[in-house]
Amino acid sequence: MRTLPTLVLAPALALTDQSVAYAFVGWGCAHQHGLAIDVVHAVFLAATLLLTVLSWRDLRAASAMAVGDEGAPGDRRMIARMGILLGALSSLAIAAMWLPHWALSPCY
């Protein structure tokens, strides 16, 4: 099941993104350049979107399953939907944290 990493890693990636981006603020302020912070947000956003796509693929695979294959398909679909929603929420949180960096200098 490709959804389980999304359920665990997507929120962890969002929190890690916040910590790592904050760690680069001092460097960005010293060099008057916010590229490092943008790269951090872009990498973490891409990772959460990749996990979301894996959950979406798991949902498609679970929808094609028969009733007797590897547990109930309804359970697998529900878990895959939860993974998609949690991955999308985590991606939205990362994008919301990235948005102020487009408008403000790292020194604010």
* pLDDT tens by residue, 19-40: 999 999 888 888 888 888 999 9
Q: What is the pLDDT of residue 32?
A: 81
* DSSP structure class, residue 69: S
Q: Could you tell me if residue 108 is inside a domain?
A: no
pLDDT reported for residue 94: 97
Kindly state the average pLDDT of the residues 83-106: 91
For residue 100, pLDDT over 70 is answered with: yes
Number of folded domains that form the chain: 1
For residue 79, is it within any domain? yes
Residue 92, domain member (yes or no): yes
Q: Is 105 a member of any domain?
A: no
**Within a domain: 106:** no
Residue 107 domain-assigned (yes or no): no
Q: Determine, yes or no, domain membership for 95.
A: yes
Q: Which domain holds residue 18?
A: 4-100
Question: 35-55: per-residue pLDDT in tens?
Answer: 889 999 999 999 999 999 999
The answer to the question of residue 43 being in a domain is yes
Neighbours of 75 (CB within 10 A): 10
C-beta of residue 94 within 8 angstroms of C-beta of residue 20: no
Tell me the C-alpha distance between 4 and 54, whole Å: 10
pTM for this prediction: 0.87
